[in-house]
Amino acid sequence: MNDRMNHFDEIACLLYLEGELDAPRAAELRAHAAACQSCGAMLRALGTESLGLTRAFTEADEPFPARLAAFDANPSAARWAWLLAFGLGGAAAYMLWAGVIAPLWDSISQAGFDGSTLLSALVFNGAFWKGWSSMIDSVQTAALIALGIFAFSFVPLRLRRGAAVAAIFGAIVLLAGFPAPARAAEIHKGSQFYTLEKDQVIHDDLIVSGERVEINGTVDGDLIVFAQSVTVHGHVTGDIIAFAQFLRVDGSVDDNIRGAMNTLTLDGSVGKNVSIVAQSVDIGSNSTIGGSLTCAAGDALIDGKLGRTLLAVVSKHTEIDGSIGGDSRLIGNHLSIGSTAVLSGPVSFNGVEPPDVADGAHLVSPVHFVQQRRPHRAATVLGFVHAVLRYGAAVLMGLLLMTTLPGFFDAGLRAARRWPTALGIGALTSIVWFFLVIASILLLLAGVGAGLATVVLYFPFAYLSQIFVGAWLGEAIVPLHTPGTGAQLGRLALGLLIIDAVKLVPILGGLLWIAVLLWGTGAILLGIYEQSRRPVAVAA
């Protein structure tokens, strides 16, 4: 009680109204308020305030969210989904390893990359290009930043501050860990013709672009070239990395030849390996390759001497008249082995027609021939099983998204409903992505690693795009507001089934696939954007 005014104060009035005053004091206040206009008014005002608060708080001011209406409060579904998904994921990982990675790894090992992992071979040993580690340029940085932003968007908001600090320190450590930039290369560009004269020596990497490039002198480093026609009569102590229409090497290369071209003609010597993509490959009779030849080509003629293995995917015809020191693994249409051929390792050929082996050819064992099946893969039982597995995997991935990232799934689905926007953003992003890939692969300064990183970054988007479009399609066909993850999963399964079915239709299926890719990519990006825009909390 306020002694000076002889009134009860506000806290006493509140406690009285809330039934929290002890009985004698409550009786005292009741008696006082009956006689005191001020305290009576205070009691009434506080009572009105309490009622006003209750009314304001209990008003249904916003609809019950659809996500909650569809939520399955029984966690058992999520548990079996997790178990199933992890089980299938493990099986899929094993199949991927046993069916794809392990054979590929064997092939790569036989092609001369043995002794280290693929990653370290690509990145640290400079198997593709020695200058890779020093070429952390803008495109690579952009690809890494994109990857970082993508990963960061999945960090819960409350952890972001800590994650950002960790990322900054991590980046500093990584940057500190990078080797110092290699020596600067000598760069020639813009001129139509470039010729390195016979008595000239460049004690550096040489990067050159032009219509016609001729190397008659010595490059004491790598030769990196972008040209219509490239001829190397001279000596390159490092690698030749070429993107050209014609590449002819009559001289000597101490390390490797790598790149993409229309025609490769080799009449000189290569100390290590040749790894190329070309329309036509001609390894002349005077040529020697100390290591392996790995190529994807339209036609291949191998007359020269190959120190180690041959790994070739040739769409039309392969002819071998030279010598091969190691294994030969070929995939293609037709293989001819001439009478002068000396093949010191086993030969396997996966082709359409049986190989022609001339009488005088020296082989350690008969060619192991595996005939390719002509029927369309999709028509086979195996193809059908694969299609079903792919479909099941997509449905499972959708279920995983629903249960583990429901906010992201809902945001993506909401974005998919705004299909013109999603399609537009997907198309725009894909165009930018495409140019980024092309730029980072073909513009040699960027480094192939950036292109690979960018392509790899796109895979999750490409895969998940079908899930969001499928969920939208299922929802459009069965617009039932049935609660529960099960109903939502059913709609997703229906949508995915329709997409997979339409994909089988020639032309229309391809167009649909592109539309789904663009639409879904846009929806994912919008979903990520929406999730990232969720405000952090209002500060107290």
Closest alpha carbon to 515 in 441, 423, 378, 431: 423
Alpha carbon distance 130, 121 (integer Å): 10
> Which amino acid, one-letter code, is at 87?
G
Alpha carbon distance 522, 441 (integer Å): 24
Pick 45 or 505: Cβ nearer another protein:
45
Q: Rounded to the nearest whole angstrom, what is the least distance from the CB of residue 381 to another protein in the complex? A: 38
Q: Rounded to the nearest whole angstrom, what is the least distance from the CB of residue 82 to another protein in the complex? A: 13
Look at the block and give the residue holding tokens 């460049």. Answer: 202
Residues near 454 by beta carbon (within 8 Å), at least 6 away in sequence: 143, 146, 433, 436, 437, 440
Pick 44 or 377: Cβ nearer another protein:
44
Pick 7 or 233: Cβ nearer another protein:
7
Stretch that binds another protein, among 8-16, 115-123, 335-343, 428-436 (CB under 8 A): 8-16
Q: Which of 61, 379, 506, 507 binds another protein (CB under 8 A)?
A: 61
Pick 62 or 199: Cβ nearer another protein:
62
Question: Torsions phi, psi of 378, nearest 5?
Answer: -65, -25
Quote the tokens at residue 265. 């003609």
Closest alpha carbon to 528 in 451, 434, 479, 465: 465
Closest alpha carbon to 332 in 344, 320, 345: 320
Pick 46 or 387: Cβ nearer another protein:
46
Contact 350, 331 (CB under 8 A): yes
**Per CB under 8 A, 79 contacts another protein:** no
Stretch that binds another protein, among 3-11, 162-170, 184-192, 255-263 (CB under 8 A): 3-11
Contact 527, 412 (CB under 8 A): yes
Stretch that binds another protein, among 37-45, 180-188, 439-447, 473-481 (CB under 8 A): 37-45
Question: Torsions phi, psi of 384, nearest 5?
Answer: -65, -45
**Per CB under 8 A, 22 contacts another protein:** no
Look at the block and give the residue holding tokens 């995997």. Answer: 393
Q: Using CB under 8 A as the criterion, what x/- string covers residues 100-139 for binding another protein?
A: ----------------------------------------
Q: Which of 3, 22, 59, 199 binds another protein (CB under 8 A)?
A: 59
Alpha carbon distance 497, 501 (integer Å): 6
**140-179: contacts with another protein (CB under 8 A):** 158
Q: Using CB under 8 A as the criterion, what x/- string covers residues 274-313 for binding another protein?
A: ----------------------------------------
Pick 43 or 207: Cβ nearer another protein:
43
Q: Using CB under 8 A as the criterion, what x/- string covers residues 438-477 for binding another protein?
A: ----------------------------------------
* DSSP bridge partners of 253: 236, 270
Helical (H) or strand (E) element with 261: strand 257-266
Q: Rounded to the nearest whole angstrom, what is the least distance from the CB of residue 7 to another protein in the complex? A: 8
Pick 13 or 300: Cβ nearer another protein:
13
Q: Which of 23, 34, 60, 180 binds another protein (CB under 8 A)?
A: 60
DSSP code at position 142: H
**392-411: contacts with another protein (CB under 8 A):** 406-407
Quote the tokens at residue 178. 């990078």
Q: Rounded to the nearest whole angstrom, what is the least distance from the CB of residue 491 to another protein in the complex? A: 19
Q: Using CB under 8 A as the criterion, what x/- string covers residues 471-510 for binding another protein?
A: ------------xx--------------------------
Q: Rounded to the nearest whole angstrom, what is the least distance from the CB of residue 166 to another protein in the complex? A: 18
Q: Which bin fits 514, alpha (ψ -120 to 50), beta or left (φ > 0)?
A: alpha
Stretch that binds another protein, among 65-73, 169-177, 221-229, 352-360 (CB under 8 A): 65-73
Our CA angle for 270, 271, 277, nearest 5°, is 50
- 3-state DSSP call for residue 61? coil
Quote the tokens at residue 301. 């003629």
Cβ burial, residue 190 (10 Å; 0-12/13-18/19+): exposed
Q: Which of 75, 162, 181, 354 binds another protein (CB under 8 A)?
A: 75
Q: Which of 35, 56, 119, 184 binds another protein (CB under 8 A)?
A: 56
Q: How many Cβ atoms sit within 10 Å of the Cβ of residue 177?
A: 7
Q: Which bin fits 220, alpha (ψ -120 to 50), beta or left (φ > 0)?
A: beta
Q: Which of 6, 49, 117, 200 binds another protein (CB under 8 A)?
A: 49
**Per CB under 8 A, 44 contacts another protein:** yes
* DSSP bridge partners of 292: none
Residues that bind another protein (CB under 8 A): 2, 7, 9-11, 14-15, 18, 20, 38, 41-42, 44-46, 48-50, 52-62, 64-65, 67-68, 71-76, 158, 406-407, 483-484, 534-540
